[in-house]
Amino acid sequence: MTTTPFSQLQEPRRKAVKMIVPGEFANSARRSKACIWKGLLWHEWLAHRKLMTGTFMVWFLGVWVLQIASHPFWILILGVIYAVSAGQTFGGADVKEGSEEFSLSLPPTRAERYLVRLTLGMGTLLFFTVYGLLAIRLDLPQVAWGLFVDSGFTNPFPEIDLLHYAMAFAVPIVFFSFTFAGSALARIAKRVENVGSCSLAVLIILAALQKAWPWWWISWRTAGFTLCWALLGVSPVMLLFGYLAYVRKEGVSRPS
Amino acid sequence: MNSFEPFILILLPPIVATIVAILIICRKAAGMRPFPVHTSSKHHLVPRMICSAIGAIVLIAVGVVTWQEVQHCYISDDKGNTIVIHAPAKAIPPLPSVPKEAGPNGKVAINKTRLLCHLVIAELSPPGFRAIHAEEFEVQWPADRDKDFTKTFNLYGSKAAYSFTINSASSCQWKNRKMPTLELKGLKGGFRWERVIGRGSRSKGENSDFWASEHLCGPGTFNDPPNRLLSVAAGPSWNWHVFSFMTQVAEDDPLKEIPLAEFIRIRQDEMHRMAQRDIAMWRPFYQEVERIAGANRAFCPGFSLMVFIGISALFLLGAAIMISQVFSRRDRGLAFAGILTGVVLYVAVLDRMTLSIHLSHLTDPQAPLRDRLMACYQVPHTFFYRNKALREVEIIAKDPSIPEPLHNLARKTAILLKSG
């Protein structure tokens, strides 16, 4: 049996190496960035698909099939539950598992990780809330059921004040922003859970505030719309703050 | 309607669902997925297939039972001439009267008597009653004091039980502020009536305090429309009435045999009065139920659908869960959502089939009047096709050539469908 010298084994590989000329460098960098984004998206999907598909199932059955409640309040509840769960899961999964130091040592940068998780988490949340609210506002499930039946599931939903739609859109977004940024910046697993608890506490306070609102001072409708705008304005600020702090964050590797 | 067509409608969706599931499994087994298949999913293939087969069987069973339930509405089996019961051959002896000087609460005890109790189940089917079932009991007073007379029997596949007890026998005068003094003669006791359909829904009637006189009538019990287990269509028993008659007979009366139809003919006026009283008594309740259902339909159509399906909704939900087991664990949630959508569509198909059968009887000019009336009663029990039902009923209501009772009922049904 003859053995091949080591130098000959290495030779073909050396020939295959392509020289990168300066003009092609930008294209190559863009391609590698796209690859990283694709890989990160795939990774996040595989890691958290149960949460997303489970919420999709509840949303689909509740909005389109059984029309559980013809009120934006139902989207608000589902949106807040998903926002708090997804914010913790997408933002603080590495911290919870105690593998953040290892994750941050991999080629994707902190900024890329943060943005990919934000895109997936916020994207799915927007899909559930916007599409769900549009379905209720425009009676889309009734239109779909109208293809097969002529009563029962085709009765239009009752008219509901626009404020409820605005609240159902704004509240889950601000909850997601707060939970996501807070979980991403957490340094121990316990703190990720605390962020979720704080979000739920804020929700209860908001609900109590709606009940005990001083009507004589300013109407709830005016205050509600102002609050929606304020919440929508605060959300990007929280996310930006989270981003700036996360890119400087030191990875932690403590067991949960 | 061709009898073959409903079975195609029933069988097609489960067959298509099973074929799609098998194709997906075969595709997975061939390794055509972009990511590796879990080995555990292959290992558990047999139990998962068994689960999905059970789910498909439940769906098929729901279809078949619904079909049978609809057909039951049109079984024309008036048992008035086949059932024979006993009736007094001699004149009925009078019960003792309360003397006037006894006052408003005066009472005279009945020492000894012989009684004949009849249970008659009949359907109010214009212009008269259609006999469904009858039972009879002979009571010796006071030997049978506090004795529990009970009979159980089968009624179109459902178990029914009837019982009564007599606690006291007296004639008394009764008076209150709004009414003049009434003299009531007879026996005091309690009736109990229960019908169990399958293992789930029940209809009950009870009167713990009744008075018997010469032609004693107990309470007529108005049955609500119960959905049979595994059926999504309303059954035919919705306008059945339960009557109890207690008659005093002479000690030496040999009793004569008469057909049930004759018995009903003699007491027809009394039965009509009691049936109308029961219908009037229950109408506010049903109007309230309709109102709540209407409100729910606007706010939560899914809940209204569950109310419409009844107990069978649990079986359909279980079937959807079972069928979704055919998919691997990671796809099960989405598969369940898809299959539940399919199951709701399947219910819509069954609803359409039921309505088609009723409409075919309603619009058939050669069909007996009783069948056309029954079809008109059943037509509003649709959830998904009320507009179609309304269109057809309005055509009947505007047709001057149809018989008067059907014309009146069609007008009322059209109003009901419009309001719903």
Q: What is the ipTM of this complex?
A: 0.76
Q: pLDDT tens digit string along B1-51?
A: 444 455 555 555 556 666 666 666 555 555 545 444 454 555 577 888 888
pLDDT for residue B218? 45
Closest Cβ opposite residue A150 in set B301, B344, B388: B388
pLDDT of residue B106: 66
List residues of chain A with CB under 8 Å from any CB of chain B.
Answer: 49-50, 53-54, 56-57, 60-61, 64-71, 148-153, 155, 157-158
Per-residue pLDDT, A216: 57
| Lowest-pLDDT range of A207-211, B82-86, B197-201 | B197-201
Query: For residue B159, how far is the Cα from the chain centroid?
Result: 12
For the cut 50, the answer to whether the pLDDT of residue B186 exceeds it is no
Residue type, A225: F
- Nearest CB to A57: which of B308, B337, B348? B337
Nearest C-alpha neighbor of B325 from the set B132, B39, B45: B45
Cβ A249 vs Cβ A110: under 8 Å: yes
Contacts of residue B346, defined as CB under 8 A and 6 or more positions apart, other chains included, come to: B13, B14, B59, B63, B316
Tell which phi-psi region holds residue A214, choosing left (phi > 0), alpha (psi between -120 and 50) or beta.
Answer: beta
Instruction: Report whether pLDDT(A79) > 90.
Output: yes
Q: Do A65 and B340 touch (CB under 8 A)?
A: yes
List CB contacts (< 8 A) between B334 and chain A: 53, 56-57
Instruction: Please give the residue that has the higher pLDDT: either A215 or A178.
Output: A178
Determine the pLDDT at residue B318.
92
The token pair at A86 is: 């997804």
Confidence of residue A127 (pLDDT cuts 50, 70, 90): very high
**Choosing among A148, A149, A159, A160, which should be mutated to test the B contact, i.e. which has the most B CBs within 10 A?**
A149
Query: For A202-228, what is each residue's pLDDT tens digit?
Result: 777 777 766 666 655 666 677 778 888
CB atoms within 10 A of CB B103: 12
pLDDT at B174 over 60: no
* Mean pLDDT taken over chain B: 73
Distance CA B385, CA B389 (A): 6
Tell me, what DSSP letter sits at residue A153?
A: S
Residue A71: the pLDDT is: 81
- Output Rg (C-alpha) for chain A, integer angstroms: 24
Return the minimum-mean-pLDDT range out of A5-9, A123-127, A133-137.
A5-9
pLDDT tens-digit map of B205-214: 444 444 433 3
Asked whether the CA dihedral B382, B388, B390, B395 is positive or negative, the reply is: negative
Q: How confident is the model at residue B61 (pLDDT cuts 50, 70, 90)?
A: very high
Residues with Cβ < 8 Å from B72, sequence gap 6 or more?
B156, B235, B236
CA distance B287 to A255: 63
What percentage of chain B has pLDDT greater than the value 90? 13
Q: Please tell me which residue, B199 or B291, carries the higher pLDDT value.
A: B291
Mutate to test the interface with B, among A150, A157, A160 (most CBs of B within 10 A): A150
Confidence of residue B73 (pLDDT cuts 50, 70, 90): confident
What values do phi and psi take at B245, rounded to 5? -120, 135
- Contact residues on chain A for B383, CB-CB shorter than 8 A: 151-152
